[in-house]
Chains A and B, each alone.
Chain A
């Protein structure tokens, strides 16, 4: 188990670094896909099969397909990527740093959350997630589902020529 954990983590970190450092956009996307698959592996290690599969369906199977789709359509090549100006670089570093700080602050609280919700082995299974979603987090869940439905109907409306 521990070995698997380290293996998956290593794959994830290497792929994540490759996403950042690789110059070819298609390779970036593919490394990101592998990274996501390794993340799904982590979920399975935590016995959160539902999360793992939904993660694969939504992120790997839908969103990354769209990414790849767009990049293929634009056919970005190494030559096209322009050199960024110094201002952009500095601002990018600042934004990234701030985001990192926010992330650090957020992860500091996880220990507290962990105390509030002690780890249960069936938590990631369908029944566990379902119970939490439909009792404690009912309102946000319903609101987000309405948001999704309206987004989908909106997409349909875009597709129609004569509204």
Chain B
């Protein structure tokens, strides 16, 4: 790797980090606006124009609040918990292809930080580590509600990871690659994977909701039963980290869904326009972000529509609904390719 690429990658990494944080920040604002609009209210509109400074005000509030660590809590783990949640949430953005290639001064730069040949699995691994943040934080609080929340989070994650894996296996059967870059490249034009894997998409989406602890699967922080769930004892910016990690996860999983099923940065009908390489790349990145924001909106839309699952319903759906469906999907995809590819 030569020096220019290294510099570009570093700059790009920082940009992606900033974008992730800003999008997550404004997701909180968006969440409140969407919630308000769906309930015939106006939402935050006092801080700045249309309330656009609300996330900053919230951040300042979080930082200024008194920091409380319970006496009976395990101090070290209590602090490590939110850090893990935040770190793993941020780590996933590395493998997502944010755009095609840019040519600056004769050098060609790919708008993807690391093109791992096992990109999907990397995302998957980060998601599975992410649960430790919740588990450790919940246990270290030394509070029964927090512990219950942590336990719920763990069992929910394990259950839905299986079904998520199943849907990904079917997807990999159709694409024939684990690299996110290749998967996006294959969906050029309108060959989006959602048309080839509609059932897999539904399973993946449901699991994505469950893995990000979003409603209707937000049982780990279910306020009607568990006060605040795993973050009952948290206050100040540590609580902020947990809440923020949730929004980062939402952004990243929206990006992953858009990459896997909606063609990533591919734009239909762009080839006929005869634009230069750089324009196409930038337009594609813009279009990718439109897709991501639509997915985030879907996340919020569903949150403010559906009621929360009961715990046994959650487990029933994961184990008896989604996993058999996932196996069926793999079988169907496999049989289809067996008969079409052999000829």
Contacts and interface: CB of A to CB of B under 8 A. Distances in A.
Secondary structure class of chain B's binding surface, majority of residues: helix
A56 B129 contact: yes
Interface stretch (A59-67, A106-114, A134-142): A59-67
A26 B77 contact: yes
A102 interface: no
Interface residues of A, number: 26
B121 interface: yes
Contacts of A61: 124-125, 127-129, 131, 161
Contact of B132 (A53, A65, A126): A65
Contact of B158 (A33, A66, A152): A66
Given A26-B77, A155-B319, A159-B315, A50 B136 contact: no
Contact of B154 (A60, A68, A126, A160): A68
Given A72-B139, A159-B320, A65 B158 contact: yes
B135 A49 contact: no
B204 to A, nearest CB: 16
A14 to B, nearest CB: 16
A134 B186 CA distance: 25
B319 A65 contact: no
Interface of A: 26, 30, 33, 49-50, 53-54, 56-57, 60-62, 65-66, 68-69, 72-73, 125-126, 149, 152, 155-156, 159-160
Contacts of B319: 155-156, 159
Contact of B136 (A30, A56, A160): A30
Contacts of A26: 74, 77, 139
Contacts of A73: 151
A156 B128 contact: no
Contact of A156 (B117, B125, B178, B323): B323
Contacts, number: 79
B155 interface: yes
Nearest to B76: A27
Interface size bracket, B side: 20 to 34
Nearest to B128: A61
A56 to B, nearest CB: 4
Most buried by A among B154, B155, B157: B154
A62 B151 contact: no
B77 A62 contact: no
A49 B118 contact: yes
Given A65-B154, A68-B154, A69-B155, 4 more contacts: A50-B117, A53-B118, A62-B161, A72-B154
A53 B128 contact: no
A126 B320 CA distance: 30
A27 B326 CA distance: 36
